[in-house]
Amino acid sequence: MPRKNKSLFKLLFYGAITVTLYAGLFLNEPIVKSLCARGGLYALFPVVTAFIFSFVHGNFTNYFWQTLGIEAKKKRVELTEHDRAVERKEIRTQLRA
């Protein structure tokens, strides 16, 4: 149960940050547009903004699914002899003119 409480706390934390970022972005739209329209080093502004949003929203989504109890399978797949790649002799076609 402590793991679920930890996931719930992180879910709420990253959810609050996500809401704050989106609210800040949409409420300051004219400023953001003017920064993105400038040249030079200001061209990095949209890229950095996208990375920040991606990181925060990705963590929020991860903890959301963990809180619901949905996680990826952790199954190791063993390759059998049948599944392994087989070395084959290279066949070259020849042009006979």
Distance of alpha carbon 7 from alpha carbon 22, whole angstroms: 22
Q: What is the DSSP letter of 43?
A: G
Residue-level pLDDT at 76? 79
- Pair of tokens at residue 51: 């990375």
**Nearest C-alpha neighbor of 62 from the set 74, 70, 50, 73:** 70
Domain ranges across the chain: 2-67
- Higher pLDDT, residue 4 or 17: 17
pLDDT tens for each residue of 74-93:
877 776 766 667 777 777 77
pLDDT value at residue 83:
65
pLDDT tens-place string over residues 33-63: 999 899 899 999 999 999 999 999 999 999 9
What pLDDT is recorded for position 78? Answer: 73
